[in-house]
Structure 1
Amino acid sequence: MTQTGETAIGGAGTPPIVLMRGIAKYFPGVVANEGVDLEVKRGEIHALLGENGAGKSTLMNILTGIYQPDAGEIVIDGYDAHFASPVAAIAAGIGMVHQHFKLVQAFTVAENIHLGWSQTPRFASARALEARTKALAERFNLDVDPAKRIFELSAGEQQRVEILRVLAREARLLILDEPTAVLTPAEARELFKALRRFREAGNAVIFISHKLDEVLEISDRITVLRAGRKVATHEAAACDPAMLARLMVGRDIVLGDYRKRDVTAAPSAVPPVLELDRVAAKDDRGLPALAEVSLTLRPGEILGIAGVAGNGQRELSQVLTGLRPITAGAIRIDGKTVDKPDASECAARGIGHIPDDRLRSGLAPSLSVTDNAVIREYKAAPLAAGPLYRPGAAGGLAREIAAAAEVAVPDFAMPVRNLSGGNQQRLVARREMRIAQKVLVAAYPSRGLDVGAINTMLRYFVELRDAGVAVVLISEELEELLNLSDRIAVLYEGRIMGVFDAAAADFETIGLLMGGRTAAREAAA
């Protein structure tokens, strides 16, 4: 950081910890940021909102030294700053915890904390590193076990390690990207406590989230970006979800009218379309992932699967769609046992799948947008005429799917990886809904989507349900599940902890079960 002038910028009083003025960043054919101003004061939690592609990530990448701005300036503590790299930003006290953790799974907590840190002793035993980590954890009130390896930790524990890594390097501004996406409600509350303590010490937080209710709960001020430009900054106390949604998308969003569901109308006597009977399955490492899972799915219902990521949801979605073999139990489709279902057979039987990892499991990144849009139907008419493939028909279908998904595609021949994550997700969703004649298995379909896109996608699921299609909705968003599902099953460590009617489901009870606890155990403790 370079200091210019004798007096701190900002005049009388304490200058903001960060001031970004007139920030612009351009990519070929794309205005990522233009004329963006952002002020973050000491002792505040400042939320940053915007649709997918609004420029939030680009702005934070500029602030953390990953990108260089094409125009504008950054002022830290009242002095001009230029960050040539993330190392320079960290040295200035700016640290970021990304949505996807960047920890080494095989290393211990202590090893991850000290990895790449200039203050790590050159010759230190494991015990010494663990002692240093324990002292840091106590200093910042973050409960972590220094000796545990990362793969042994829950998502909430891993997040604490990520935050501790940043704070250990003397960060005064903590940037959190979708920090509660993989947390139980109890873990989210603990995170909020830690953030408030951090703020009370005179530090600051930039909080990026699509969850408007939690933004209003935790933040002091809120800045909204739209199409790469800042549209407003408001005190959180003066905002409400509808107002924020309108600022984000530029029009009124009717939040949650898909929730108006008479649960008594949900089918109960209709024969099941899909059943799991004491099913077991292993994960990619050959370790048990599902154990004695029994579920019944009927036409015209939404079955929600609640649970913290990493408790067997991915394996369950793959078992339901024929991507993963079972090691015990039975699967029945339309009442008939299927010995060894595979993905093609499940698709032929009308089972669609929105996978948890759209880029690795739902798309072929290097293939074109057209190829990815039609990949499930390329053998059928009108795309196929006998052994011949009809590119013109494929192009027409791809455009039809993209239009239904509300995805603007500049060039259908370009690799699908060039689309934003939200556009990739919507394209996969609409493609899979076309083949979901009986069942749609949707794993984290709203992950990474903005409020408008989430609202649209959940309406799609309601349309499918009302057309008699069964929907399995796997999500970490309890409010989403409670408001949309007819029944909710809770998955913990590969087992079903309970199945509830949506009308009788309780937020706290389900939250406890997601963490492997029950109300009785909590009372006993």
Structure 2
Amino acid sequence: MNADTLAAVQPAVELEGITKRFPGVVANHDIRITVDPGTVHAIVGENGAGKSTLMKILYGMQKPDEGTIKVNGEEVAFRTPSDAIASGIGMVHQHFMLADNFTVLENIVLGAEPKRAGMLDAAGARARIIELAARHGLRVDPDRLVEDLGVGDRQRVEILKVLYRGARILILDEPTAVLVPQEVDELFGNLRELKADGLTVIFISHKLDEVLSIADAITVIRRGTTVASVDPGQVTARQLAELMVGSELPTPETRESTVTEDVALTVSGLTMEAEGFRPVPKGTSVALYVEKLREKGRRLLLDDVSFEIRKGEILGIAGVEGNGQSELIEAIMGMLPVHGDITLDGADISTWSTLKRRESGIGYIPEDRHRQGLLLEASLWENRVLGHQTRPPARSGIWINRRASRADTERIVKDYDVRTPSVDTLALALSGGNQQKLIVGREMSGEPKFLIAAHPTRGVDVGAQAAIWDHLRHARAAGLAVLLISADLDELIGLSDTLQVIYRGRLVARLDPSDVTPERLGGYMTGAITSTEET
């Protein structure tokens, strides 16, 4: 048997006895996983179970204290991600690692730039990127700046970046977190094509139904060690959840209505130009100005968006990434200028600063906890102060009240089950789910009048997901008005009292959550269904 034939029958990846310790914590203990070539192998477990540490070891970001790694039958010892890439391993992280001020093409070739006569061969790079994108159905514009892309587009750039470097083993961390059902189907079709080409995919996800539909094999990790290897055809999502966390799958279902007659937030005619904000000429109404923009063919990121949210109501906004959700959030928060009016609890806040809006009772769970929600190299109690530094308990006179801030962080840790050794622990040391629970606890503090919850359970396990849903339901019952933006359609349908669909910056449908399916909602989100109103 020659070397090529021997390699073909060897496992793509073998992890034997992998152990990794940090001060006071054993992240991985005696991990054993075998991944067959040309398969999708899913790894599931709670946040903090050790999945991320294990993948960082496989990708050369960290070294194991014990154990061996084999790739295609050969033992390897990666010192850096470059070593892993050289062995054909690529990783798409849940939190993307792209340069915002670079184009898509520049990000994809960064560090692997093709040269011709000593110069960057941009034409060759573009041709290869377009070919890879077409082959795998990954829609990208090579010349767009990454800072202008939505989360879904960023994910596609990351996948292309890995494929461009010739990866044959792909680690995908929560790859469907930002996708609607139709896009998930498309991605899974792409993964099957990759399998057919002999590529191997290690698929990390908390969406157990998706894992069961795409995986050829599943490994369950609990508390840092492998507890089961199962055949997807022999286990249900409920059984898989019990293996992960010892409990049944939670559901986001909200039963009784708590909607009152009192309006908490009103937005009227919000309109934002793609080319940047321009003041309305004197003597011209906003409506007439916007109509002229449409006549000139100007692209609008937000186009006459209007709605009300009452106290005790969750209004869900459904839309494919990049259709105006981020701009809507930034407009309400005062982070970007916008035409139109915003009223909070009867007060016109349209011209208020972001700080004044926060002080007046707006809470904000951002869509990307690392880029917008946390200072990763700061302690938990310092992150509790973040965005609340002008109010008690953080503020005492002109100074930050450290003692009160630490005490309130201890309360959040207890009430929201944030698993951490101490409030002095750095935020970067927490798992994603515990980081998210800290943010939710912080934003629920101070009795906000209105909460923007953008993808509140993105990338968290079923246990943390259930806890966050419970906190949202309890706050709603206590009279909180919530704007919920999520890519999880079951979450949107289950939690919302009212659903609106945003498409190309416009609200195009108003739906009853009790009478809509994820598939039909996805149809409105992609423009496949164009009816404007349902009751």
Q: Name the CA distance, whole Å, in 1 between partners of 2:85 and 2:63.
A: 15
- The CA deviation at 1:379 is 6.2
Q: Does 1:259 align with 2:274?
A: no
Q: Are the equivalent residues in 2 in contact too, given 1:142–1:160 (CA < 8 A)?
A: no
Q: Secondary structure of 1:101's partner?
A: coil
Q: Name the CA distance, whole Å, in 1 between partners of 2:244 and 2:86.
A: 33
Q: Are the equivalent residues in 2 in contact too, given 1:150–1:158 (CA < 8 A)?
A: no
2:213 is aligned, of 217, 221, 226, to 217
- The CA deviation at 1:40 is 0.3
Structure 1 residues 104-163: Cα deviation after superposition (integer angstroms, max 9, x where no partner) = 55655555444433765555653333334344445x443546754354666545444433
Q: Secondary structure of 1:72's partner?
A: strand
Residues 124-203 of structure 1 mapped to structure 2, 5 A cutoff: 125-137=121-133, 140-144=135-139, 147-151=142-146, 155-203=151-199
Q: Does 1:36 align with 2:27?
A: no
Structure 1 residues 287-332: Cα deviation after superposition (integer angstroms, max 9, x where no partner) = 9643321011011111111223343323323433x44364321112
Q: Name the CA distance, whole Å, in 1 between partners of 2:387 and 2:530.
A: 47
Q: Does 1:315 align with 2:309?
A: no
The 3 A distance-change label for structure 1 pair 282 and 245 is farther
Q: Are the equivalent residues in 2 in contact too, given 1:347–1:435 (CA < 8 A)?
A: no
Residues 339-358 of structure 1 mapped to structure 2, 5 A cutoff: 339-358=350-369
The 3 A distance-change label for structure 1 pair 283 and 21 is farther
- The CA deviation at 1:339 is 4.6
Residue 79 of structure 1: aligned partner: 74
Q: Does 1:270 align with 2:261?
A: yes
Residue 95 of structure 2: aligned partner: 100
- The CA deviation at 1:164 is 3.3
Q: Name the CA distance, whole Å, in 1 between partners of 2:402 and 2:98.
A: 44
2:465 is aligned, of 454, 464, 468, to 454
2:502 is aligned, of 464, 471, 491, to 491
Residue 381 of structure 2: aligned partner: 370
Q: Does 1:438 align with 2:449?
A: yes
The 3 A distance-change label for structure 1 pair 7 and 227 is farther
Q: Does 1:295 align with 2:317?
A: no
Residue 478 of structure 1: aligned partner: 489
Structure 1 residues 3-22: Cα deviation after superposition (integer angstroms, max 9, x where no partner) = xxx999xx999221111100
Q: Name the CA distance, whole Å, in 2 between partners of 1:412 and 1:266.
A: 35
Q: Are the equivalent residues in 2 in contact too, given 1:290–1:315 (CA < 8 A)?
A: yes
Q: Secondary structure of 1:84's partner?
A: coil
The 3 A distance-change label for structure 1 pair 19 and 118 is farther
The 3 A distance-change label for structure 1 pair 402 and 488 is same
Q: Does 1:304 align with 2:316?
A: yes
446-455 or 178-187, larger mean C-alpha shift: 178-187
State the number of aligned residues: 507
The 3 A distance-change label for structure 1 pair 471 and 27 is same
- The CA deviation at 1:54 is 1.5
- The CA deviation at 1:366 is 5.1
* Aligned partner letter, 1:276: V
Q: Are the equivalent residues in 2 in contact too, given 1:282–1:289 (CA < 8 A)?
A: yes
Q: Name the CA distance, whole Å, in 1 between partners of 2:323 and 2:271.
A: 13
The 3 A distance-change label for structure 1 pair 134 and 508 is same
Q: Are the equivalent residues in 1 in contact too, given 2:261–2:311 (CA < 8 A)?
A: yes
Calculate the TM-score normalised by the size of structure 1: 0.86
Q: Secondary structure of 1:497's partner?
A: strand
- The CA deviation at 1:63 is 1.2
The 3 A distance-change label for structure 1 pair 326 and 418 is same
Q: Are the equivalent residues in 1 in contact too, given 2:316–2:496 (CA < 8 A)?
A: yes
Q: Name the CA distance, whole Å, in 1 between partners of 2:354 and 2:108.
A: 41
Q: Secondary structure of 1:435's partner?
A: coil
Q: Name the CA distance, whole Å, in 2 between partners of 1:449 and 1:32.
A: 17
Contiguous gaps of at least 5 residues in structure 2: 279-299
Calculate the TM-score normalised by the size of structure 2: 0.84
The 3 A distance-change label for structure 1 pair 131 and 416 is closer
Q: Are the equivalent residues in 2 in contact too, given 1:306–1:481 (CA < 8 A)?
A: yes
- The CA deviation at 1:452 is 0.5
Q: Secondary structure of 1:181's partner?
A: coil
Residue 404 of structure 1: aligned partner: 415
175-184 or 435-444, larger mean C-alpha shift: 435-444
Q: Name the CA distance, whole Å, in 2 between partners of 1:159 and 1:444.
A: 16
Residue 231 of structure 1: aligned partner: 227
Q: Name the CA distance, whole Å, in 2 between partners of 1:191 and 1:381.
A: 47
Q: Does 1:334 align with 2:345?
A: yes
Q: Secondary structure of 1:61's partner?
A: helix
Q: Are the equivalent residues in 1 in contact too, given 2:109–2:164 (CA < 8 A)?
A: no
* Aligned partner letter, 1:519: I
The 3 A distance-change label for structure 1 pair 456 and 132 is closer
